[in-house]
Amino acid sequence: MAELPMLCKPQLPTELLRDIVFEYVFTFDEGRKREVPRHSSKPPWSLLEPLTLASKVLRQLTFEAWFEIYYVHSPDDLLTAWPELGLWTKELHCVELGTDLQILPVHWNLRAFHRLRKLRIDFDPMMSNTMLLMRFDYPKHIASNIRELEIYDTSWPSPLTIRLVVDAFSGLRTLKLSQDLIWCSLCNICCFSTFRDHPPKEIAYDKTVGLPGHYATYMRSLTNLQEVVLTISYGLGGNFSLSEGNANLWTGECDACMDMMYAEEDFRKDWVEKKTQTVRPPSLRSVKWRFRHKDVGDVIHLVDADEGEEVEVVETYTDE
Binding site for Zn ion (CB under 5 A): 184, 186-187, 254, 257
Tell me how far apart the alpha carbons of residues 165 and 216 are, in angstroms, rounded to a whole number: 13
Give 138's Cβ-side CA count (13 Å radius): 12
Whether residue 139 is preceded by a cis peptide bond, meaning omega within 30 degrees of 0, is: yes
151 or 182: CB nearest Zn ion: 182
- Give the three-class secondary structure for 178: strand
Give the list of residues 6+ apart from residue 90 with CB closer than 8 angstroms, or none: 68, 69, 115, 116, 117, 118
Instruction: Give whichever of 186 and 284 is closer to Zn ion, judged by the CB atom.
Output: 186
Q: How many residues does the chain have?
A: 320
To Zn ion, the closest distance from the beta carbon of 252 in angstroms equals: 9
Q: Which is nearer to Zn ion, 65 or 189 (CB)?
A: 189
Encode 54-68: b = buried (16+ Cβ within 10 Å), e = exposed.
eeeebebbbbbbbbb
Contacts of 222 (CB under 8 A, 6+ apart): 166, 169, 170, 172, 175, 281
Nearest distance from C-beta of residue 270 to Zn ion, angstroms: 16
d(CA 256, CA 258): 6
CB of 96 to Zn ion, least distance (A): 29
Longest dimension (CA), the chain: 75
As measured in angstroms, the least distance from the Cβ of 253 to Zn ion is: 6
Q: How far is the CB of 153 from Zn ion (least distance, A)?
A: 21
**Nearest CB to Zn ion, comparing residues 187 and 272:** 187
- Taking the least distance from each CB to Zn ion, the nearer of 62 and 185 is 185
**Between 131 and 182, CB nearer to Zn ion:** 182
Q: How far is the CB of 257 from Zn ion (least distance, A)?
A: 3
